[in-house]
Each structure stands twice: as C-alpha cells, then as structure tokens.
Amino acid sequence: MTRILVLHGPNLGLLGTREPGIYGRLTLADIDRQLRELAATLRVEVNCFQSDVEGELVSRIGKSRGVYDGLILNPGAYTHTSIALRDALQAVETPCVEVHLSNTAARETFRHHSFTAAACIGQIMGFGAASYALALTGLVEYLSRKREP
C-alpha cells in the first residue's frame, strides 16, 4: 500500500482559532480526518504529524526514506526561513508536495519566497483546507504514473 506522510509546521495546531479569515475555521484534527477519509477512497495510507519545532520536522523527513512513498509538507513560516527543511527534502529524495492554506504570493512580501518549494515536485496554495486534498490527490496520481512501466 502507498504510504504518505503529512507534516504540518508551526502554529498549524492553532487552526480553527488562528486568524480564521485567512486560515479558515477547520481545526488541524478536522483536516487530518478529511485526509484520512480521502486516503481511504484513494487506497493509500496517510500518517499526520504536527510540530512547532523545526528540528522535529527535519527528523521526520529524514526518517521517511524507505518508509513513505511520498510527503505532503506545510512548512508554515519555515517556508520562508528553513534551509534545513529544504536540505532534508533533497537528501531523502522522497517526492513531496508543499501545501499552504493561504495564497502566500498574495500576502506580505516576506512570504513570497519559499526555500522548500524547489525541493518539491509541486506546490499547492490558496484553497484553504482543500489544498491538502488537492496535494494528496496530485501526489497519489504522480506516484501511480511513476510506477507505470
């Protein structure tokens, strides 16, 4: 069975109450539940992890090699600061989709650059919680095409 690791970065544990005009009213538990439901219909396994600590996210990426077929990463604010996350993604060579609830390109200038995007196969942003579903669907499609002869 295809296994996908979903990593949620800093402050995403505050979803539902954190700036709902930008991030919506769904909690992280709601998003994880929706992902597991979608994963079941796609016949893949999804495991979710959230941390506010950059090193914990880096460690999870490092331990994903050979265990997971793909990654979905919402690096949160680390998007704009973390060379360590980018290096980890490049080191494991596990296909990754970067996700953002908001359209970071339409927000403050400092949010326009992503250090992690170049180490990913794609980036989805601006669709709220649906960004995760789009990422999962796209990643599963990518992995199935990659396995075809």
Edge-first strand order for the sheet with 44-50 is 44-50, 2-8, 70-74, 96-100, 122-125
Q: Which domains does the chain have, with CATH numbers?
A: 2-147 (3.40.50.9100)
pTM for the model stands at: 0.91
Which residues are catalytic, by number? 23, 100
Report the C-alpha gap between 103 and 124 in whole angstroms. 9
Phi, psi of 63, rounded to the nearest 5 degrees: -85, -5
Low-confidence ranges of the chain (pLDDT < 50): none
Count of other CB atoms within 10 angstroms of residue 84: 16
Q: What is the pLDDT of residue 15?
A: 83
Cα angle value 39/44/45 (rounded, 5°) = 85
For residue 106, what pLDDT is reported?
61
The pLDDT score that the predictor gives to residue 120 is: 97
Backbone angles phi, psi at 140, to 5 degrees: -65, -40
What is the pLDDT at residue 57? 98
Q: pLDDT value at position 149?
A: 67
